[in-house]
Structure 1
């Protein structure tokens, strides 16, 4: 599957606010023991599990480069911190514990979600598929987190199974939404147009460079629901061009074979989300 991220750099939509979180310049490694295994990696960040030396508490440390491709990205990192602060009371959003800064990086110490990504529940060769009742619970929890974001006029813009974590896997735990690096604040005074996100999860308005609204995130809820229900990605093609075409034409397989074990209400839910120009 294609996982390429598109990004058109723009500083519009970033939260301009003074942070409540103290950004510490102490040596991170004096306070945390870092495990070598990566929990996740993107173009601009690496996430590793760490353990607080004083308490033994497990956390996830997200290392963000302050300069990427010669550009200063500190404003975008501070925006991500501001969004996490704003969402601090929401149990569906990963909790920010503290922040460190070095010469080249900013380190976010985040709540550790031991259950991993819900992407692991979307793979075709999964031995024990989760039932529809569990899927409904997970989607409802994602929507609870998303509602809090949207009530604050913030769109995530990179919702995908890799950015939805679980507090535990056995038993199946609760949702933790992560990675707000591409999130943006919608302003009444101006339209937000950006080309950003991961190829197969892009909404049609992103591809068309149309104004972004909260409906953009809802498209991604449809994609995530489809993947959890069918273990298939609805739009991914043989290459990026085919994927773009599938998205722009909303070419989705709703065949009886693909949805053989899915209830009609669940199928209807997906179909109502994966539409162009939602009202």
Structure 2
């Protein structure tokens, strides 16, 4: 656990234990196959360690972005991965290399890819509610562990949850700690960061970040996994942010066909505007939905096109455009790269009239109180 001398005032850890290698990466690894993902400042490629023959994912991160030195952001990401070494649901860090222009993280290769792929899949390949219960338990166990260590992820979404295998459905690995912050030894951190459909209201209101900020994102993530739809997605970012700030969520029977009432109750415990009233990761792990034998026997596909059930209508949203404006209470938002292990490729299937494209996260200057 880093102490306060190793962490700067905005919750980013500035020292790491991992030795950064400066010898040639390709002397020790062979790159194989196609790219696993690409962002504005990061590329992820599968690689094979020459000595062991073991497959890994190599994440090449540019140190300079938009004219600014971002090496310390990468160091923070490494530090978080180090602190989560004992967490079975966080992707493991194997080695780190540095060149004049890049830092390369050699990570565990999660062969099943993103859960995003199943969220947008056709009926036969979509998650069942039973699948979602098992994966949600793992996500919550991983996040509870991080929160116990005072780490907030701040970009939990389907593109940042990988699977060890897709057929059969494997275990989850949480990835992309490029936006994470530590909350110990810091009075308050206020930042505009995250991915539009997943950001919590307190981020848009420029209020302090906390572990509750992640819990909102888990509520959105669970909604997406069960329905294949994004609850707050608007025609543009402005509308998306308005939906988030007003907590406009559609819990109608049309959206939640075939999904149990306990699942909806679980989501409602997280999509609460006041972060103090939001369920914690530990609360969620005790929720009846994750511990109810009836829920466990529910084997139908969760996507709304398949099974009957559920009620409680409210509102609906549709397609998102790549604009970069914030709601009135916040300063202008700046798009930055997603450092995901495998960024989402393509679009999410239309739920209520629109596609669900992969969104890059947002970031804004910190204000420390």
Q: Any idea what SS the aligned residue of 1:15 has? A: coil
Q: TM-score, normalised by structure 1?
A: 0.93
- Decide whether the 8 Å contact of 1:124 with 1:232 is kept in 2: no
- Given candidates 129, 142, 146, the residue that maps to 1:145 is 142
Range 24-33 or range 119-128, more displaced: 119-128
| Counterpart for residue 6 of structure 1 | none
Query: Is 1:131 aligned to residue 101 of structure 2?
Result: no
Aligned to 2:12: 14
Q: Distance in 2 between matches of 1:266 and 1:42?
A: 33
Deviations 1:220-242 (CA, angstroms, capped at 9, x unpaired): 11011000100101111111111
Structure 1 distance, partners of 2:267, 2:98, is 42
Residue 189 of structure 1 and its aligned partner are, at CA, apart by 4.5
> Which of 118, 121, 126 is matched with 2:118 structurally?
121
Rounded to whole Å, the distance in 2 between the matches of 1:60 and 1:189 is: 33
Q: Which of residues 199, 204, 209 is equivalent to 2:201?
A: 204
Contact kept, 8 Å, 2:87 with 2:142, in 1: the verdict is yes
Displacement of 1:81: 0.6
The question of 1:99 aligning with 2:96 is answered yes
Q: In 2, are the aligned partners of 1:155 and 1:217 still within 8 Å (CA)?
A: yes
**Which structure's CA Rg is the greater one?**
2
After TM superposition, what 4+ stretches of structure 1 lie above 6 angstroms from structure 2?
none
Q: SS at the partner of 2:146?
A: helix
Q: Is residue 11–residue 186 contact of structure 2 (8 Å, CA) maintained in 1?
A: no
8 Å contact 2:115–2:162 — kept in the other structure? yes
Distance (Å, rounded) in 1 between the aligned partners of 2:215 and 2:195: 15
Determine helix, strand or coil for the equivalent of 1:273: coil
Q: Deviations over 1:108-161 (max 9, x none)?
A: 000000000001111163432221111111011011111111111110000000
Candidates 210, 214, 218, aligned match of 2:211: 214
- Partners of 2:162 and 2:55 lie apart in 1 by 15
**Whole-angstrom distance in 2 between the partners of 1:182 and 1:200:** 16
Give CA-to-partner distance per residue, 1:191-236, whole Å, 9 cap, x none.
Answer: 1100111111111111111111100000011011000100101111
> Which residue of the partner structure matches residue 65 of structure 2?
68
Q: Output the CA distance in 1 between the equivalents of 2:227 and 2:217.
A: 15
Q: Which of 32, 40, 43 is the aligned partner of 1:43?
A: 40
5+ residue gaps, structure 2, are 1-7, 278-369
> Is there any run of 5+ residues in structure 1 with no aligned partner, and where?
1-9
Query: CA 1:102–1:189 in 2, change beyond 3 Å: closer, same or farther?
Result: closer
Which residue of the partner structure matches residue 24 of structure 1? 21
Moved more, 107-116 or 179-188: 179-188
Q: Equivalents in 2 of 1:126, 1:216: separation in Å?
A: 31
Q: Distance in 2 between matches of 1:73 and 1:168?
A: 33
- Tell me the residue number matched to 1:265: 262
Question: Deviation at 1:11?
Answer: 6.9
Distance 1:163-1:225 versus aligned 2 partners, 3 A rule: same
Is 1:255 aligned with 2:244? no
Preserved contact between residue 93 and residue 178 of structure 1 (Cα < 8 Å): yes
With over 3 angstroms needed to count, the CA separation of the structure-2 counterparts of 1:238 and 1:124, relative to structure 1, is farther
Residue 7 of structure 1: aligned partner: none
- Count of aligned positions: 269
